[in-house]
Structure 1
Amino acid sequence: MKGPRGTQDILPGSVEKWQYVETVLQDICNRYNYKEIRTPIFEHTELFQRGVGDSTDIVQKEMYTFEDRGGRSVTLRPEGTASVVRSFVQHKVYGSPNQPTKLFYFGPMFRYERPQQGRMRQFVQFGVEALGSDDPAIDAEVIALAMNAYQELGLTSLKLVINSLGDKQSRNRHREALKQHFTPHKEELCEDCQLRLESNPMRILDCKKDRDHPAMATAPSILDYLNNDSREYFETVKAVLDNMGIPYEIDPNLVRGLDYYNHTAFEIMSESEGFGAITTLSGGGRYNGLVEEVGGPETAGIGFAMSIERLLMALEAEGIELPIDEKLDCYLATLGDEAKQEAAGIIYKLRQEGIQVDKDYAGKKMKAQFKAADRLKARYVLVLGEEELQNNQINVKNMETGEQNTIAIQEVVQHMRSELKED
């Protein structure tokens, strides 16, 4: 039997990379003073209908939605922002004197779409949300955090693309211009874009099917419809990025796939050869209005989400080896039943002191136990046999240097602490 299509098992040998990446991301968030939040894997369906948007592909085609035993419609979360905002509102976090509220999360997300390289039906996102500030500088901070994360993990072939989606007034003006522009070509567009023409024409610019249609190249730019406030906001975001020394490109056709975005929108892409046709690593933007949409007070917000799967793909494409320590501190090899019993107590004490240790549980002979220690890349092998036990001693062998020491059993914990500290 196989796992469901579009899912994967992350096995030992690979999971260590995930753990390392997660540790680095947590450390970066700590430096930026973002705190972790954990939300349920499923929510009431209405949350995503209202928060993500009825006109999006996610809501219309990709959500895993079902009725629970009480007849309530629930959905496996397709993205993280709506859940974070729901929690922010439910627990009245907006009332905290410490604002903005700066949060990050890890977790599985679920979308029913055609599985392909780097795009699964169950995938893991790392995301950041900053709620409670409409300062353009925090837009730049969120972007900087994302760039910092990729760079700290060693990626160099990166491109940051930004755009402004403007405020509501600017978007409405642009919306009308797009409708006028695309209406003569309506019958030439895909079925989805024909519907978007009425509901959300900006999302036509994000269509994968119609991307090569000639009308795309001449579509009105949102930047030409920004009012003074929106233009000034975007200029400030760019100025802060300039002060940080973060290079970027402006793409007036960059839109986000979710309805709640306005003002700043951005994507970070991989330019590494061999990464694949889908180059986007992460994306995000500002979403003023989302908190009110889910029942909270007027609250500004900005965030982004990145796929851990795509991050690992980018690291592989650039040939970056993560500094993962795969070595075992020590392996305890035993000979004889009494030695096996004594070994259990020794191992327990070593582990209590934070020392990583393992032993044979398959009844192998001494030579096979040493081979097992080699496979586990043990730094040290502790040897306890009948003779050592009678003399209250244990042999310690450094597997890198070949040096051997015989010490008293009661001193083994202190000895290993000292040896490993020097390593």
Structure 2
Amino acid sequence: MTSAQPNPLWHPFADMGAVDGDRFVVTRGEGSYVWDEDGERYFDATASLWYANFGHGREEITRAVTEQLRTLDSYNLFGYNATKPALELAERVSALAPVPGSKVFLGSGGGDVVDTAVKIARSYFAHTGRPEKVHVIGRVQGYHGTHGFGTAAGGIAVNAEGFGPQASGFSHIAWDSAEALEAEIQRVGPERVAAFFCEPVIGAGGVLLPPDGYIEAVAEICHRHDVLFVADCVIAAFGRLGTWFGIDRWPVRPDLITTAKGITGGTIPLGALLVAPRVAEPFFTGAPGAPVLRHGATYAGHPVACAAANATLDIYERDGLIPRGRELEKPLADALSGLRSHPLVGEVRAGLGFLAAVELRDDLLATDPGAPGRLQRLCRAEGVLVRPVGRGIVVSPPLIAAEPELDLLASALPRAMDRLV
């Protein structure tokens, strides 16, 4: 159903001239499904924006948030302030980290913690006698949010257009080449490179799966040149790839790990940056004149958000949801396999985690650049919500999805594709 009444709400990533009077208004959610204002039900095959990992309408979250609001509705973490929900969450996240003893810096979301990661990386080198190490390398098609440093680190060119000069000290390499990272470090100079940002699976850039051996290779290159390896796991963490953080599917030890989205199942905005002990150490000495990280968001580690996160971790643990991203990766790939032979499909990318992309053919996109958006609407007419991303559509269903939902994908997406032309 679309709303005929214009409204002043300005949507992110939207052509507002087209959106006005043509909104899809979601009014309710339960499990893997949401309902619109006309009462029509849809399979939320994108878990909203990659984050509703346990679906919608969890009473455990409602109870945790309600109790926290009654107990302490808000307080900041600046200076020596703390709250019990934030302390508990930091302990739990650190205990799960692939690098033991990691510190946890909380933010308001993924964009916050990406910018925090850049600042900490540069500050770490500044406080260990190498202030010239400030350069950050990202990957073409990588996505690291839309804050200042995240936009500069990201490699989706259109996301940086029209905003004027970006932050300096960033460059980008081919997303699938470890050799390109080595070459770029040598070009810039290892003595000047602070960090490399790497999504385990590139998400918003089109669900691009890393080549075999890629993650291990870039981690080794970073270690050899003393470049901090930043694993951006905002999408990958909390079960999406079948492990707690996504990057822990590979035998690597990231220096920093960005997380958000699934940490609360999307119920309340929150982000958490994991910082390996060696990177955090200069800020934790307690010595006179020790460096202070003069950075943080007003609502970082908000007690209500942390209460939601603690309840979320309980759900993941109790219901055994974290491994499901791995258990469901093949069934999802199988459900989409019929699309590989469709005449309008150029490629189906699936098989690593519970997410996938269906890319349209080059000739179709050349004549109809708006085809991904039209395909999204056609899928919605079939009762399935997908996202148009770049050259096609992506799916990332809730981890609670099961055979009926996968069967729906297997039947609905080909029907929508058949109606595309």
State whether TM-score is above 0.5.
no
Q: Which has the larger share of strand?
A: 1
TM-score w.r.t. the length of structure 2 is 0.25
Higher relative contact order (CA 8 A, sep 6+): 2
Per the normalisation by structure 1, the TM-score is 0.25
Larger radius of gyration: 1
